[in-house]
Amino acid sequence: MEPIIERFLRYIAIDTQSDENSTTQPSTTKQFDLQRILLCELTEMGITATLDQYGYLMASIPANTEGDITPIGFIAHVDTSPDCSGKNINPQIITNYTGGDIILNKERNIVLSEKMFPELRNYLNQTLITTDGTTLLGADDKAGVAAIMHAANHIMKHPEIKHGEIKIAFTPDEEVGRGVEHFDVAKFGARYAYTIDGGEIGELEYENFNAATATLLIHGTNIHPGYAKNKMINAARIAMEIDSMLPKYERPESTDGYDGFYHLTGMTATVEEASMHYIIRDHDHDKFLVRKNNLTSIAESINDKYGPSTVEITITDSYYNMRKMVEPHIHIVEKAIQAMKDCNVTPLVRPIRGGTDGASLSFKGIPCPNIFAGGHNFHGRYEYLPVQSMMKAADVIVRIITLFAQGDKYQPIDIQQTNTHI
């Protein structure tokens, strides 16, 4: 396991946090720092690669066998979430984990609790990489980057493995929703692709939320409180009123599976003016439309109550459920399931309660399911990575490559029997 651990630790040492408030592409220039290292490593492997002005690194391994083999791609993102610091990451390596709590930071009493995170019990006797409790780890998605690089290196060192064209892409700004904004589909050249950006071992996802963002600007009227009767309109209280009008149990903390939600991600408020920012999510497109219309209707009702210019609402779609684009090419999901089974991994076919670059790429013409990279508790100080899971991700990538080289000689999988969620 040492080579893949060394890769992962090398990549997380570089701060690549993206910035949702930036208007540049990529949103932070420091993402180039990792991309340049990856470019050099790919070149040293003998793989042709390019890095463009927008921060997209693309590479291609030519086919080493004859026949009409479909070009396939593997994609991971290099940026880390703005939700938690990705600077000066100090990883801890726990070999032969024996169970129980893991002390991340004794001085600050930060503990990775087995009671709070019972999934830890699935990784007894394995090697875990954790944070020191002050930053995120960066397994989202540098575990995916490391798995792809490890698999590519293996392919290059073993020419006896027959394969078609293999395409690789490392993208910036996935965490701020702009991961494929300038992605050149024609240049990439893959007919199908897989993002290696999932969580626990076995995850395989080909459906995700439909997503939108909503911004509400609330205009109040500030009057001296001693003389405010029938005159003051308190924008801060109206903001509270709006949130109370949304269904109480349709929030992230009360939902799972295929449940959609409204999520208040930020709010600033004074008597004179308030702003509210929501994300809206639902797997079902019709329910997604209902959610957007509901929030619009609430804003209209507030304007009817307090005056026609009290609330301004803007709703912008972010991405859509890729299932519509992937299902006509369901064999790519079948191949991923077969690859996992061949690598002694139990497939866990689930809907993504989020989005990936693959969702947008699927609508750009590259059907693109999502495969596990191995990490847990992304975007925060309790993030950890079982190393064996990352290794299995690399194994699955290689096996998918060989299955595509075999064409339709493999036995198709009954997805309905494999996945009870669909």
Per residue in 73-124, pLDDT tens? Answer: 999 999 999 999 999 999 999 999 999 999 999 999 999 999 999 999 999 9
Give me the mean pLDDT over the 381-394 stretch. Answer: 97
- Domains by residue range for the chain, with CATH: 2-207+322-418 (3.40.630.10), 210-318 (3.30.70.360)
Write out the two tokens for 272.
Answer: 């004179």
Residue type, 30: K
> How confident is the model over 265-300, as pLDDT tens digits?
999 999 999 999 999 999 999 999 999 999 999 999
Give me the mean pLDDT over the 385-410 stretch. Answer: 91
How far is 128 from 114, CA to CA, in rounded Å?
13
Instruction: Please tell me the number of Cα atoms within 13 Å of 2 on its side-chain side.
Output: 0
Which of 32-36, 298-302, 316-320 has the weakest average pLDDT?
Answer: 316-320
> How confident is the model over 147-174, as pLDDT tens digits?
999 999 999 999 999 999 999 999 999 9
pLDDT at 12 over 80: yes
pLDDT at 354 over 90: no
- pLDDT reported for residue 407: 79
The fraction of the chain above a pLDDT of 70, given in percent, is: 96
User: Could you confirm whether 174 is annotated as catalytic?
Assistant: yes
Q: Catalytic residue among 79, 141, 282, 383, which?
A: 79
- pLDDT reported for residue 177: 85
How far is 411 from 331, CA to CA, in rounded Å?
11
How far is 236 from 418, CA to CA, in rounded Å?
50
Give 6's contacts (C-beta < 8 A, 6+ positions apart). none
Confidence of residue 70 (pLDDT cuts 50, 70, 90): very high
- pLDDT reported for residue 332: 96
Three-class HEC string of the chain: CHHHHHHHHHHHCCCCECCCCCCCCCCCCCHHHHHHHHHHHHHHHCCEEEECCCCCEEEEECCCCCCCCCCEEEEEECCECCCCCCCCCCCEEECCCCCCCEEEECCCCEEECCCCCHHHHHHCCCCEEECCCCCCCCHHHHHHHHHHHHHHHHHHHCCCCCCCCEEEEEECCHHHCCCCCCCCHHHHCCCEEEEEEECCCCEEECCCCEEEEEEEEEECECCCHHHCCCCCECHHHHHHHHHHCCCCCCCHHHCCCCCCEEEEEEEEECCCEEEEEEEEEECCHHHHHHHHHHHHHHHHHHHHHHCCCCEEEEEEEEECCCHHHHHHHCHHHHHHHHHHHHCCCCCEECCCCCCCHHHHHHHCCCCCCEEECCCECCCCCCCEEEHHHHHHHHHHHHHHHHHHHCCCCCCCCCHHHHCCCC
Bond into 79 cis (ω within 30) = no
User: Could you confirm whether 334 is annotated as catalytic?
Assistant: no
- pLDDT reported for residue 405: 94
- pLDDT reported for residue 421: 25
pLDDT at 382 over 50: yes
Say if CB 373 and CB 203 are below 8 A apart: no
> How confident is the model over 334-353, as pLDDT tens digits?
999 999 999 999 999 999 88
Q: What is the mean pLDDT of the chain?
A: 94
pLDDT at 242 over 70: yes
Give me the mean pLDDT over the 367-389 stretch. Answer: 96
Give me the mean pLDDT over the 361-388 stretch. Answer: 96
The fraction of the chain above a pLDDT of 90, given in percent, is: 91
pLDDT at 316 over 80: yes
Exposure string for 342-372, b = 16+ CB within 10 A, e = fewer: ebebebbbbbbbbbbbbbbbbbeebbbbbbb
- pLDDT reported for residue 1: 64
Give me the mean pLDDT over the 378-398 stretch. Answer: 97
- pLDDT reported for residue 146: 98
- pLDDT reported for residue 66: 87
Give me the mean pLDDT over the 227-256 stretch. Answer: 96
Say if CB 257 and CB 351 are below 8 A apart: yes
Which of 187-201, 290-304, 381-395, 401-415 has the weakest average pLDDT?
Answer: 401-415
Confidence of residue 20 (pLDDT cuts 50, 70, 90): confident
Question: Which residue shows structure tokens 């005056």?
Answer: 307
pLDDT at 419 over 50: no
pLDDT at 14 over 90: yes
- pLDDT reported for residue 409: 54
Q: Catalytic residue among 132, 141, 165, 174, which?
A: 174
Question: Which residue shows structure tokens 């797997």?
Answer: 283
How far is 213 from 280, CA to CA, in rounded Å?
6
How far is 103 from 105, CA to CA, in rounded Å?
6
Say if CB 168 and CB 59 are below 8 A apart: yes
- pLDDT reported for residue 422: 23
